[in-house]
Structure 1
Amino acid sequence: MGNPRYANGHRRREVQAYWRARKADCYICGRPIDYTLRPPDPWSYVVDETVAIANGGRVCKANSGPAHRWCNAVKGTHTLAWARAEVRRRLAGHRPGTVIAADWESADW
């Protein structure tokens, strides 16, 4: 069996066209997508599967949303909620994988 991403190219093209026609904002970061940008520009348009194909998700409108290439790369196979929080952190200037400092003064030791 081949790669499930390419198992149904027709369905993938339909989903891409569906989201492109709506010119919706990135469903991960919420910012506008410039649909004229071409890959490999990090802010170009891609379709993200909410439940990743690697995790058993399907290529369909109900399991997808428009995203920036960069936001999609951050999400990877993580959940949409995790990706939204991580993208928000990175856009705020935090490095990937760093922990936001705890409030040590109010900790009950």
Structure 2
Amino acid sequence: MAGNPRNGRPYRRLVDWLRAQRLPCWLCGRDIGYDLDPRHPLSFTLDHLEPVSKRPDLLLAKENARAAHRRCNSSRGNRTTTQPKTAPQRASRRW
């Protein structure tokens, strides 16, 4: 049985390369807490533009790697959309 490719050195190098750039979250545009505990919702995670579940061949591709908050990455799931979820806008009251 093959191991998890996200535990290997090539994946860790990709994570370290992206972390060193200190980019904002590609989904919401806000700064990422790179020094936060990895379990914190606003901490850094590596996200993939094309989800690995749909394109496993792009797991280690730098052009597919994006910096994201843990919360943003989790809420996006494996969708390919780049638009974050937003609350529906309420219409103003007509006078």
TM-score (norm 1): 0.70
Q: Which has the higher contact order (CA 8 A, sep 6+)?
A: 2
In the alignment, structure 1 segments of 5+ residues that lack a partner are 95-99, 104-109
Alpha-carbon distance in 2 for matches of 1:29, 1:78: 15
Identity %: 28
**Structure 1 residues 80 and 18, CA gap change in structure 2 (3 angstroms):** farther
Q: How much has 1:37 moved relative to structure 2? A: 0.4
Q: How much has 1:85 moved relative to structure 2? A: 3.3
Partner deviation per Cα, 1:54-91 (whole Å, 9 max, x = no partner):
1114222111100000000011100142xx231xx1xx
Task: Give the paired residue count.
Answer: 88
Larger mean Cα displacement after TM superposition, 45-54 or 56-65 = 56-65
- Structure 1 vs Structure 2 CA RMSD: 2.1
**Structure 1 residues 62 and 2, CA gap change in structure 2 (3 angstroms):** same
In the alignment, structure 2 segments of 5+ residues that lack a partner are none
Q: Which consecutive aligned stretches of 4+ in structure 1 deviate over 6 angstroms post-superposition?
A: none
**Structure 1 residues 43 and 102, CA gap change in structure 2 (3 angstroms):** closer
